[in-house]
Chains A and B, each alone.
Chain A
Amino acid sequence: MASMASILRSNSPFWRRLGFLGLGAAMLAGLGCGGSGRQRLVLYSPHGPELLEVVEKRYEELHPELDVIWLDMGSQDVFDRLLSEKANPQADVWFGGPDTILAQGAAQGLLAPFRPSWAEAVAPESQHPENLYFGLYRTAPVLAWNSKLVAPADAPADWEDLLAPRFQGKVLLRDPLASGTLRTLFGSILARSVAETGSPERGFGWLARLDTQTREYVLNPALMMEKLARGEGLVTVWELTDMLWQKQRGRPLEFGFPRSGTPVIDDSIGLVARAPHAELAKAFIEWIGSPEAQRLAATASFRLPARQDLPAAELPTWAQKVLGDLVPAPVDGQLLTRESAGWMRRWDQEIRGKGGSWAAKP
């Protein structure tokens, strides 16, 4: 022990620094982990703080005994986390994400059945047959362009315009594998081809032509928006809610609904299987679909209600305008669920970056 003392006595700056490091770590840990003592309700959500903060504040006003906690992450990350925590779930509510990802979660047994009373008010195709998840908000792919570089007369008015010569090499797209919005668009184009010709080939041909127009498939959404704003490309396909948000914050972008219609995406919600606070979670899901909460989300952060029984006059002006402009394209949801993964794999292997040679095929 005398030798231990000699280390301490050695008075070396290295040991002292190490000691300070440890002390500092302990102090910060104490600072970081202060609990509130209230009962926790845990949401995993891709919605972002602009909605989650509003929801948290209002729900805690209604239930002062609760501490609403949200972990904000990408919709694919929500799935990853829930899967890795399957043996010991930490979350109560899977709050948001395109229904395609919640469908993956349902297939992995990550969701528990719960049918809120508002389920009747959403469209039948937005209701899961086994009550695992329900559409809560609606969104859709829209055409978006750089308003500094594209004159109003040149703006695209329909999907077909993306293939126009003026946008040759000027289309920027998010990587369709990583984007639920583009997956839905591609799927709807292929599904329409199946419905009209019996096979997806015509649809793949169209996507091959789109590939030849495309400058780049950008994986990261923030980067994609920067590139569009900085003029690396002129047009893109983007998600409605985010577009409204970007425009309101002053980005020089403009968007429009395609004339021929756009596939509507269900942003869904579900109860996590074996949730630690299942009863609290059910009460929250019940509330978040109420007319009050739907209007709150519409007013605070551009969420278009999935409920169809809300009078349009009670919605904010932007929502009334969107409901007037949006032409929903009919999509065979079952076909899409069945074929989507295979179609996207084929697109990835045969068309991505090779659209020219694909389109030249007889």
Chain B
Amino acid sequence: MRRLAPIALGLVLLWLVGYPLLVTFGAALAGGGGPDAPLGRFARAPAEWLALWRSFWISVASVAGAALLGIPLGFLFERRDFPGKALLGALVALPVALPPLVGVIAFLFLFGESGFLSRAVMALLGRSEPPWRLAGPGAILLVHAYSMYVYFYLFTRAGLARRDGALEEAAATLGASPRKVLWRITLPMLSPAFAGAALLCFMTSLGSFSAPYLFGGSWRVMTTQIVASKLNGDLGLAQVETVALAAVAVVSLLGLRRLEPRRRLTGTVRGLAPRPRPLASSWARWGACAAATVLTLILLSPHLTLVLISLVPFGTWTLEPFPPVLATSNYTGLLSSAESWRPIASSLWMAAAATLVALVLGFLAARRAARGGAGGRFFEGLLALPWALPGTVFALALASTFSVHAPWLGRIVLVGTPWILPLAYVVRALPLTGRSALAGLAQLDSSLDEAASTLGAGPWRRFARITLPLLRPSLVAGAGLAFMTALGDYVTSIVLYTFDNRPISMAIDGILRRNDLGLAAVYGVFLMLASSAAFLAWGRERQAG
């Protein structure tokens, strides 16, 4: 039984993660390698290699940008205590709750050439031409760093919450300066958390579509190149491009693993994190509160813009710096029909169910991966793979894998049923729940578990009383991210949704195609509220625990 369980788990993961990949690879290679076959045309086109290179470097730069924003924020909110910290700390995580497409459009209203900032600068300097254009790699990078720093922020906080304070105290007692403690003790202890966040950021930006799609224009990365090929009816080439992108993802995954520290730095004494330090003077406390509030407002300005857009009746805001008419007509229009509530209910149940399943699967796989060895690396690889394919491609592969009835091959008909979309959410959430569990496990102090075992506690009891409470910050962070990602998912939903489970993102998509930005923003606000609620609940959970 003990031997069979990991094998069964491995098979389930292979079935969900590996199968769609294999189907895509097979389809791409089926064309053969002749000069006129898609493979040959891909190899000879400099534009293709350029797009691949851009995908790679923009992802590396996105990781750097996200780390620079997210890690200091994580430290600020986890190590200092000031009034309003719980609320502000949850709000800072909300960029991840910015819905796809509408959220990026909100960015445009802020920083675009006809946005608030640009029009303010034009008014100040008395210029008639916008001072900049929000386009090209800079704009993509800005959006990526903004929407992905949350991974670093959450993982840093979870890592700090779990760290062993005794080591820091010991170093300080021995005369190490605070800076030295930070560099030699705290940051190395957090390295599993950083590695996890970096991996997620890298994979997300490699497969990122909204930002390059809206801001890239003719500056193509691989995801937009795939779409361009498909739009031009060249399906073979699109498949080869997909495989090339997936290959870059897999190679980078292996490379990133090499960068991970070999040494495991876990506390061996108490495994307890020190409580956040309250700031000494009340001036400092309220100063920190004010600074954090301003920072939060800046970070939430796209959200506020989205709320503003949702209050603008159709077609009334054009050349004015500020909307001339604000009304709730978009809201009343949407709330009055019962049909409008269905996408909200669908999104909520699918995201909740997918989060639950991904949490359990991700935890089990991470526990196996944490034991190391070849088997461990296998599970770790499986956990990261779902993001090796861009979302749309993964969804198409999943759809064609599960549109055939061949149970002996593990293929059953799921297309057209309401089950395939939550299943896709589960697989897409696995890297999030798995990675955060893995980061938690890597930091776990095994001596507590051993002590409990010596004292006669059984495996279940040790799990419930020792492992789980210690892992809770990591698991909750992973679950929160998974829930938000599933709730706002656009790219897989568009391929897999059915009439019975049309999610919010598809309602937004439909409205956007009618060019009704205000109404789409209302749904966007709903998405934001649901995600925020999940995160505020997380804040309370941490206090209770």
Which positions in A face B, CB cutoff 8 Å?
3-4, 6-7, 10, 12-14, 17-18, 21-22, 24-29, 31-33, 35, 42, 46, 48-50, 69-74, 76-77, 80-81, 83-88, 90, 104, 146, 148-149, 177-178, 216-217, 219-223, 225-227, 229-232, 242, 245-246, 249-252, 341, 344-345, 348-349, 352-353
Q: Does residue B504 face the partner (Cβ distance < 8 Å to A)?
A: no
| Contact, CB under 8 Å: A14 / B476 | yes
Q: Does residue B184 face the partner (Cβ distance < 8 Å to A)?
A: no
CB distance from A195 to the nearest CB of B (A): 23
CB distance from A217 to the nearest CB of B (A): 6
| Contact, CB under 8 Å: B232 / A344 | yes
| Contact, CB under 8 Å: A251 / B499 | no
| Contact, CB under 8 Å: B472 / A216 | no
| Contact, CB under 8 Å: B349 / A222 | no
Number of residues on chain B facing chain A (CB within 8 A) = 83
Q: Given A3-B459, A25-B353, A71-B499: A219 and B468 within 8 A (CB)? A: no
| Contact, CB under 8 Å: A227 / B232 | no
| Contact, CB under 8 Å: A76 / B230 | yes
| Contact, CB under 8 Å: B514 / A48 | yes
Q: Does residue B544 face the partner (Cβ distance < 8 Å to A)?
A: yes
Interface residues of B in 506-538 (CB under 8 A from A): 506, 509-510, 512-517, 520, 537
CB distance from A159 to the nearest CB of B (A): 22
CB distance from A280 to the nearest CB of B (A): 15
Q: Does residue B500 face the partner (Cβ distance < 8 Å to A)?
A: yes
| Contact, CB under 8 Å: B314 / A251 | yes
Q: Does residue B114 face the partner (Cβ distance < 8 Å to A)?
A: yes
Q: Given A24-B349, A85-B415, A222-B520: A3 and B356 within 8 A (CB)? A: no
CB distance from B534 to the nearest CB of A (A): 10
Q: Does residue B213 face the partner (Cβ distance < 8 Å to A)?
A: yes
Q: Given A21-B352, A250-B314: A3 and B460 within 8 A (CB)? A: yes
Q: Does residue B464 face the partner (Cβ distance < 8 Å to A)?
A: yes
Q: Given A104-B233, A148-B319, A251-B315: A80 and B515 within 8 A (CB)? A: no
Interface string of B212-239 (1 = CB under 8 A from A): 0110011000000001101111110000
| Contact, CB under 8 Å: A22 / B356 | yes
| A85 in complex: contacting residue of B342, B399, B469, CB < 8 Å | B399
| Contact, CB under 8 Å: A25 / B352 | yes
Q: Given A3-B459, A21-B356, A341-B233: A28 and B494 within 8 A (CB)? A: no
* The 9 A-B residue pairs with the shortest CB-CB distance in the complex, in nearest-first order: A3-B460, A28-B349, A25-B352, A84-B399, A90-B416, A251-B315, A7-B464, A88-B403, A230-B114
Query: 15 pairs across A/B with beta carbons < 8 Å?
Result: A12-B469, A12-B545, A13-B544, A28-B349, A32-B345, A48-B513, A49-B510, A71-B498, A71-B499, A87-B404, A90-B415, A177-B228, A177-B231, A226-B108, A232-B130
Q: Given A177-B231, A227-B114: A6 and B501 within 8 A (CB)? A: no
Bound state CA distance, A224 and B206, in angstroms?
26
CB distance from A145 to the nearest CB of B (A): 13
| Residues on A with beta carbons closer than 8 Å to the beta carbon of B494 | 73, 77
CB distance from A116 to the nearest CB of B (A): 25
Q: Does residue B40 face the partner (Cβ distance < 8 Å to A)?
A: no
| B318 in complex: contacting residue of A35, A48, A83, A252, CB < 8 Å | A252
| Contact, CB under 8 Å: B114 / A22 | no
Q: Does residue B275 face the partner (Cβ distance < 8 Å to A)?
A: no
CB distance from B233 to the nearest CB of A (A): 5
| Contact, CB under 8 Å: B513 / A221 | yes
| Residues on A with beta carbons closer than 8 Å to the beta carbon of B501 | 32-33
| Contact, CB under 8 Å: A21 / B355 | yes
| Contact, CB under 8 Å: B472 / A223 | no
Bound state CA distance, A250 and B329, in angstroms?
15
| Contact, CB under 8 Å: B114 / A231 | yes
Given contacts A25-B349, A232-B112, 17 further A-B contacts (CB under 8 A): A3-B459, A14-B541, A25-B353, A25-B356, A27-B349, A35-B500, A49-B510, A81-B399, A84-B396, A86-B403, A222-B517, A223-B105, A226-B515, A245-B514, A246-B515, A250-B316, A345-B232
Which positions in B face A, CB cutoff 8 Å?
47, 101, 105, 108, 112-114, 130, 135, 213-214, 217-218, 227-228, 230-235, 314-319, 342, 345-346, 348-350, 352-353, 355-356, 359, 395-396, 399-400, 403-405, 413, 415-416, 418, 458-461, 463-465, 468-469, 472, 475-476, 494-495, 497-502, 506, 509-510, 512-517, 520, 537, 541, 544-545
CB distance from B103 to the nearest CB of A (A): 13
| B315 in complex: contacting residue of A6, A220, A250, CB < 8 Å | A250
CB distance from B80 to the nearest CB of A (A): 25
| A223 in complex: contacting residue of B108, B130, B356, CB < 8 Å | B108
| Contact, CB under 8 Å: B403 / A226 | no
| Contact, CB under 8 Å: B500 / A148 | no
CB distance from A80 to the nearest CB of B (A): 6
| Contact, CB under 8 Å: B348 / A28 | yes
| Contact, CB under 8 Å: A232 / B515 | no
Q: Given A31-B345, A69-B499, A232-B113: A88 and B413 within 8 A (CB)? A: yes
CB distance from B247 to the nearest CB of A (A): 22
Bound state CA distance, A85 and B399, in angstroms?
7
Instruction: Tell me the nearest residue of chain B to A348, going by C-beta.
Output: B228
Bound state CA distance, A50 and B513, in angstroms?
11
Instruction: Tell me the nearest residue of chain A to B510, going by C-beta.
Output: A72
| Residues on A with beta carbons closer than 8 Å to the beta carbon of B512 | 220-222
CB distance from B393 to the nearest CB of A (A): 11
Bound state CA distance, A251 and B112, in angstroms?
21
CB distance from B392 to the nearest CB of A (A): 8
Bound state CA distance, A35 and B501, in angstroms?
12
| Residues on A with beta carbons closer than 8 Å to the beta carbon of B541 | 13-14, 17
